[in-house]
Amino acid sequence: MTGDDEREKMALQTMGTALGKNSGAQKDSGAERDEGAQRDGGNDRVQAVDQRADVGGEKRGEKRGEKRRERGFGTRCVHAGEGHNPYGAHATPIYQTSSFSFDSSEEAEALFSGRKSGYVYVRAPPGTPTHSAFTEKLVSLEGGEAGISFSSGMAAEAAVILSHLQQGDHLLSTDVIYGGTFGLFSAVLPRYGIQVSYADTSDLEAVRSGLMENTRMVFLETPANPTMSISDIGEISSMAREAGAVTVVDNTFASPCFQRPLELGADAVVESCTKYIGGHSDLLGGAVVGSASLIRGVRRMAVSFGGTMGTFEAWLALRGLKTLHLRMERHASNALALARFLESRPEVREVRYPGLPSHPQHHLARRQMSGFGGMLSFDLSGGREAARKLMNAVELSTLAVSLGSVDTLIEHPASMTHASIPAEVRERIGISPGMVRISAGIEDPEDLIQDLEQGLERI
């Protein structure tokens, strides 16, 4: 056999292993991952991934008995979940398939029964090796045990809630939440007998008062969209645990780069991958990360209701995570520069950014976040008309919903992202007609400030 023939044979054997044939499980450098292997939980197989972002029972390049420090966040952004590819592919391939074949009927039976781990059908997590690579990387960054990707942040949110709550249960939510979340909580959950109430979760006493005997979940969005209010994740998670409830945190505004709720005591974290994780406004996706036992329940919802992240979207999200740490630094520095500029302007009544000392929860943000993020909002003294003129006058900022893109986005919450929330509720929680929200991009800050300046002068 020639050298080329031998290499081709070895590549084919590697591909068979990666797709779950022969052993039916993913292998790392010839050794089954001790923490990163797909774990069997009866019919609920969950892919729990190695938080260390290393392969095999022994870390690469580490001598026996020698302990190495945990790899840094930026290193894991680049390397976690990578390198398990057939043919020696440097970049994780896009496995554009809907199903996987089996070597025998016995193997198929073992896989479907849960006795063996492997890839079966894309709707059933872990989906494809592309999904696995993305999920493993994200779980490593969040500090969790397991995770599942979804077709959108709302799909992820609905799955984690419906997997844990049932008729007669109560959910206590942050009062300032994304408009889509408000729609789920106000129009959908009550139809299934799930009670929802709201509290100002920046006030611990309001949280304590809002907990009921049947509270089974506390849902936090921090920083909150769009008021940027901050909730104490650690304290609230402790309160919820004492009351017999789990805590779920929407971490989209901060991303795992600047805030890791699981490390602060939360039970699950939800990310809209459409935003900072993807980072380029070209994908729709979501994810839930938590303990292996919690994710088993979420997996049942994912299989039953669908909401599967597309394979190409999983690949885009995987690619986006590789530069998350770099992008977030620039998003945050630009947001702080814009916030400081806006505070100096007479047209602006109030600026809301956690990195400003004037923010009411600035000290809490400093304690539980490693950076303040790229989102800010501000109220214009001229109200709705001033907001309209400003958004029409800016040239660099794109008038669009969503956030976390490399380019700066500007929008009007009261008439766009939070238009579905009744006006009286918006007023009560601080979403005024003159509020403008900005997602700071990664452009040169001087250009963004100049653009805002000329826009403000025209109102």
Tell me what pLDDT residue 57 has. Answer: 32
Q: Assign residue 453 a region: left if phi > 0, alpha if psi is -120 to 50, beta otherwise?
A: alpha
pLDDT at 23 over 70: no
Out of 232, 250, 379, 451, the active site residue is 250
User: What pLDDT digit, counting tens, does each position of 341-368 carry?
Assistant: 999 999 999 999 999 999 999 999 999 9
pLDDT tens for residues 262-282?
999 999 999 999 999 999 999
pLDDT digits (tens, 9 = 90+) for 202-217: 999 999 999 999 999 9
pLDDT, one tens digit per residue, over 291-304 is 999 999 999 999 99
Residue 65 pLDDT > 60: no
Do 417 and 438 form a contact (C-beta atoms < 8 A)? no
Instruction: Answer whether residue 250 shows pLDDT above 90.
Output: yes
pTM of the model: 0.85
Annotated catalytic residue within 76, 260, 275, 296: 275
192 is a catalytic site residue: no
Rounded CA-CA distance 140/249 in Å is 17
Q: Which residues, 6+ apart, have CB-to-CB distance to 192 below 8 Å?
A: 162, 167
Sheet holding 246-250, edge to edge: 146-150, 286-290, 268-272, 246-250, 215-221, 170-174, 195-199
178 is known as an active-site residue: yes
> Across-strand partners of 331?
none
Q: Which sequence spans correspond to the domains of the chain?
A: 1-322, 325-457
In this prediction, residues 281-293 reach a mean pLDDT of 97
Q: How many Cβ atoms are within 10 Å of 170's Cβ, its own excluded?
A: 19
Q: Indicate the DSSP class of residue 189.
A: G
116 is catalytic: no
Q: How confident is the model at residue 43 (pLDDT cuts 50, 70, 90)?
A: very low
Q: What is the pLDDT of residues 101-131, one digit of tens each?
A: 999 999 999 999 989 989 999 999 999 999 9
CATH class of 1-322: alpha beta
191 is catalytic: no
CATH number of 325-457: 3.90.1150.10
How far apart, in whole angstroms, are the C-alpha atoms of residue 426 and residue 433?
9
Q: Are 159 and 298 in contact (CB under 8 A)?
A: yes
Q: DSSP secondary structure string, 331-373?
A: HHHHHHHHHHHHHT-TTEEEEE-TTSTTSTTHHHHHHH-SS--
Q: Please say whether the dihedral angle defined by the alpha carbons of residues 95, 96, 101 and 103, taken in this order, is positive or negative.
A: negative
Higher pLDDT, 248 or 27: 248
- Do the domains 1-322 and 325-457 sit in the same CATH topology, yes or no? no
User: Among residues 449, 448, 454, which one has the least CA distance to residue 392?
Assistant: 454
The distance of Cα 333 from the centroid of its chain, to the nearest Å, equals: 21
Radius of gyration of the chain (CA): 23
Catalytic residue among 9, 68, 115, 367: 115
